[in-house]
Chain A
Amino acid sequence: MTIQFNDETFRDDYTFRNSDWAIKRFPFPFHEDSYMYSVNMEQHRGGPEGSVFEKRFDVDEHYISEMRDRAIVLAEDPLRCQSLPHMTLAGWDLLELIMVSKSEDYPDLFELHRNGDKWRWINKPLGIDDTFTFMDDASLPYGPMEYITRQAQGDFAVLDQRENNLWMDAGMVTTQADWSLDFDIGMNFFEWHAPVPRAHEMGVFKRALKFLLNIQQGSPARRLNWTMTVNPLLDTSPENYHKWGVQKTSLMPENIGRKQHLRVELQTFYRLPRSNALVFPIRCYLIALDDLVTVPKWGRRLHRVIRDLPEDLATYKGFIRNRPMILDYLSQYDDGKPTSPGIWPDLETEPPLEK
């Protein structure tokens, strides 16, 4: 299908909206009625047609507006994009991966023409037509990682692999769930995960790291992560927390369905060929509760998950103060009926809300 790109904002007047198409394909992160941390990783080998899992790098109706938002963030704070000196080769690897994937997966939107090391890249949605020399930094207006991630939705952490660990040595991070690349750059897997409650003690990170260290080129993996965000604000950064934190207090029973969003990250993991680095794209999807509950199964399930989520997780995810109000709202959409297993909406088979 051809994508109708939205003209929308993720700040100030927040004109961001999901179309019916975007709602139906939303990556709902709960496969059952409860949630706890786990090593929830699987192969990233496509998915049902039209789903966000189908392509290697999903492009949707928010593409152009998200890239505009990223440019605003970078103009205000260039430290959101950093690359330690030894990571330039990984940047070229990443540029190649994204250009090849997007031009193959979306030939009507992106074209890559390679003639030796002379490459021509056409990005129709963003109106870009650049010719450059592959591996020649001077032939691009930005470093290779910054160049390509200004044209790709989601954040990117590029991890160097050494000493049996992963090191966050480069990244483009403007749509993050409250963590700072500038603070975390140079850290290893256990250090940057340090603030996460429970998961260390549960052994989740040890097992996850082992899995990641063994990811092979051509066999990417993926997982979903989630939190809650008031307003469709992509840039929930610690850097700007003193500005956006207060928005959490604007939630009211009258506006909660429009303002409170479920925030889901589709996280993928790719081994890069020349640098042996690992790239970790973190793609953020937002959905207003009002839209989410149009899928009866999701309304029921989200209510149960949020209700039963342990307090330390709700605190870490930053919605503990609003949980009672969120539950008041969501309880209207939970009639106690059982839900089908798995994340899919199952609109045809799940019963309508009876309340």
Chain B
Amino acid sequence: MSRFTFPPSIPSRPVYGTLAPREAAQHLMVADAEGAEALLDLAAAAPEIMAKAHVIYIPRNAGEALVEKLRATGPDILHVSPSYLASVPRLRRVLSDTVMGAQVYLAGTEGLIGQAMNEALQAGIPLAAIQTEHRGSVARRVQCVHCKGITEDVMTDPFVCSHCGLNLFVRDHYSRRLAAFQGVCIDAEDPGEVPEPVELYK
């Protein structure tokens, strides 16, 4: 199952909901990987909104099957992008001319949701018009507090910063501006003593 229930955490850590259809002239849906399943559930609940939906989907390793299922819901526009970064110029363009009351639906990994949320807010979409649903990998986007480099898809704690090579532990402290959790050197007080990496939430 692609749903994961996050344990309670500190107040900066985002919480996600379940996408629910809303009345609107326009629906913008952005999803990656298993996030497509959340859109499929949405389309099943309210098939009529899909004719007014612009879907941007990044399959990642989820394969073609979900793309075909999304297509079968009959979205007005379905754009399949090879990566989140590649989708950003299009996302900005689409966000720049959404109409009043347009609804935004974000689904998939935390990295995708956090970054697309920033784009939507910067484009002036009110927070109340943005819904999120986490699906699939619990991997995190983490900023190294030391070198400021961001490592995508961090699956273990600790992990090695992909920029500076320090061994970082993954905090729950989260910056919405960076759409990233904070990574802090784990062996600063005992250089070289790095615990075995453990998979997040295992």
Contact = CB atoms under 8 A, between A and B. Distances in A.
B188 A241 contact: yes
A248 B187 CA distance: 12
B91 to A, nearest CB: 20
B191 A194 contact: no
B13 interface: yes
B188 A195 contact: no
Nearest to B145: A238
Contacts of A248: 189
B182 A191 contact: no
Nearest to A242: B185
A186 B189 contact: no
Contact of B175 (A79, A183, A249): A183
Interface in A172-205: 180, 182-187, 190-195, 200
A190 B174 CA distance: 12
A241 B10 contact: no
B123 interface: no
Nearest to B147: A239
A241 B175 contact: no
Interface string A241-263: 11111101100000000000000
A188 B13 CA distance: 13
Contacts of A45: none
B173 interface: yes
Given A186-B175, A238-B145, A193 B11 contact: yes
B12 A192 contact: yes
A238 B184 contact: yes
Given A79-B148, A191-B12, A194-B13, A183 B188 contact: no
Interface in B177-196: 177-178, 182, 184-185, 188-191
Interface residues of A, number: 27
B176 interface: yes
B90 interface: no
Contacts of B175: 183-184, 186-187
Contact of B189 (A180, A194, A245): A245
B38 interface: no
Interface residues of B, number: 24
A242 B166 contact: yes
A200 B11 contact: yes
A165 to B, nearest CB: 12
B123 to A, nearest CB: 16
B79 interface: no
A113 interface: no
Interface in A150-190: 180, 182-187, 190
Contacts of B12: 187, 190-192, 194-195
A246 B182 CA distance: 20
A11 interface: no
B145 A246 contact: no
A124 interface: no
Contacts of A118: none
B188 A186 contact: no
A246 B173 contact: no
B185 A191 contact: no
A86 interface: no
Given A184-B175, A186-B176, A187-B175, A195 B10 contact: yes
A242 B13 contact: no
A210 interface: no
Given A187-B176, A194-B173, A239-B145, A246 B11 contact: no
A274 to B, nearest CB: 25
Nearest to B168: A242
B11 A183 contact: no
A321 interface: yes
Contacts of B173: 183, 194-195
A194 to B, nearest CB: 4
A193 B188 CA distance: 23
A240 B146 CA distance: 6
Contacts of B190: 249
A183 B185 contact: no
Contacts of B146: 238-242
A245 to B, nearest CB: 3
Given A79-B148, A195-B171, A241-B184, A183 B191 contact: no
Interface of B: 10-13, 143, 145-146, 148, 166, 171-178, 182, 184-185, 188-191
22 contacts: A182-B148, A183-B143, A183-B145, A183-B182, A186-B177, A187-B12, A190-B11, A190-B12, A191-B11, A192-B12, A194-B174, A195-B12, A195-B171, A200-B10, A200-B11, A238-B182, A242-B166, A242-B185, A243-B188, A245-B185, A246-B188, A246-B189
